[in-house]
Amino acid sequence: MTLAKLQAQAKQGDLRAIASLIDDCLTPHGMRAQVRLHQGLLSVSVHAPTPRHRQRCVSAIRELLSKLRIPTVARVRILGKNRDRSVIWSEEFALSKGTYMRNGATRGRRRRTSHPNGTLSAPRTTVNRRSASTGSQKRRSRNSKLQKDPWLAVNLSALFPGLGQIYASKIFRGLGIILIEAVLIAVAVASFFSPEGNTLTSLGLIFPIFGIYLVNIIDAHRCFKTLSFLRLERVLKNKRNKNNPWVAVFLSQLLPGLGHLYLKNFGLGAVLMISLILASNIARLHPGWLLVPPLLYAIACYHAYFSCPRSALHSQDPIVMIVILIVAFKLTGILIPAWVEHDFVQRFTIPSDSMIPTLRAGDQILALKARGRPPQKGDLVVFRAPEFARTLDPNAGDLFIKRTIGMPLDVLRLKDGIIYINNEPLSEDYVAGPAQYNFDPQIVPADSYFVLGDNRNNSFDSHVWGYVPRNHIIGKAYKIYWPPDRIGPLR
């Protein structure tokens, strides 16, 4: 069919002729289009790989339709998307005076002006009587959001509250959420570890911390509500694409394997879940395995993303960034507690009543690691049992907690229930009762300590097995953090 005949049929409203002409003008630019005409609105769906293609597409269609002057077409709406579906945009213009035109997600009344050759010039925009610059800024802002996926915001917020809002250009909201969450976490940590802090306060803060986390994830998605992303997601979907890859990544963040179940890959999903359980249990026994669970999360997220149909995939860069952040945050959440417990604070459970009334069996305590700091007189110290103590009672355990009584080179003597240190009586208001045994004056060896239990007459301590070498001391107990009725600092 000749070009003249096609143009004649197009002017009569023949949709096939219009589609053929639009295809002909887009083919030189490497683009194809689908056309629909309804009540004077001509909808053109086109794949535009780059912003440069978008400009060429809009210009070519405008020029063609302005020359044809089809009576049945009053408005034109161009819906464009990249072939990888990572960017979608819309452009709307009128072919008759006084109609509304939209560019991207913005709306405004635009007037058509014509050049002598009949082509349309760039329209002048007025949005709600505001200045053109304000409207342009809004269009740029909303168009930048239009290219973003709300489920990617959800994935970022799942890593730490507020990151998704920042990605959605809600900077102050995101920073506010980050600040609130960080303050709550800091207060919870301080309440747990500080001597005067109440562990119940720390536990109570778990609920608002977790609540803000959940609300933040929902809010990260709702930041895109004004852009009608439900409609945009429906546009992105087709018969070959029924799954959003970022949903699969989000589910894999919750638990490796869930994303693959969402994609109906049940075998690999089950393998990933079982692998995580095994790796987590092994990591408890062998610290060298601590890196394995975060890597499983990262592998599951990366594989779930690329398990979606190719037509659903976005640019590769965001998933690489997400995987790196997942490893970083997971490692931080695992290694910082392990580092704190290894170098600073360690938890212990009291096994016996040898420290009554200060400590009872079942009390859970925190001990500050020694880290080269020698204990002071009166400190409650946790230490490894000396060899002679293990020889006397193999069932006594590997770790003891007692009170430091004698420092290196002190002269000690116990008579009539009173301890004398360098001939000075020691005032003790923490003991359950006076000792019913005596020992003659003795000098504490250098780099060693003399320790006794507060329950003097029922304690397996230095008066039985001797002195504690300095290198056996682990740290100083400073707080009971459980049970609730026993929470408090140790004196």
Active site residues: 354, 402
- In whole angstroms, give the CA distance from residue 334 to residue 253: 15
* Cβ-Cβ contacts under 8 Å for 196 (sequence gap 6 or more): 489
Q: Helix (H) and strand (E) counts for the chain? A: 17, 19
- In whole angstroms, give the CA distance from residue 4 to residue 10: 10
What are the structure tokens assigned to 139, written together? 């269009």
Helix/strand/coil (H/E/C) assignment for every residue in 42-110: EEEEEECCCHHHHHHHHHHHHHHHHHHCCCCCCEEEEEEECCCCCCEEEEEEECCCCCEEEECCEEEEE
Q: Which residues are bridge partners to 367 per DSSP?
A: 346, 477
Q: Is 10 exposed, middle or buried (0-12, 13-18, 19+ CB in 10 A)?
A: buried
Residue with tokens 């953090």: 481
- For 352, other C-beta atoms within 10 Å of its C-beta total 19
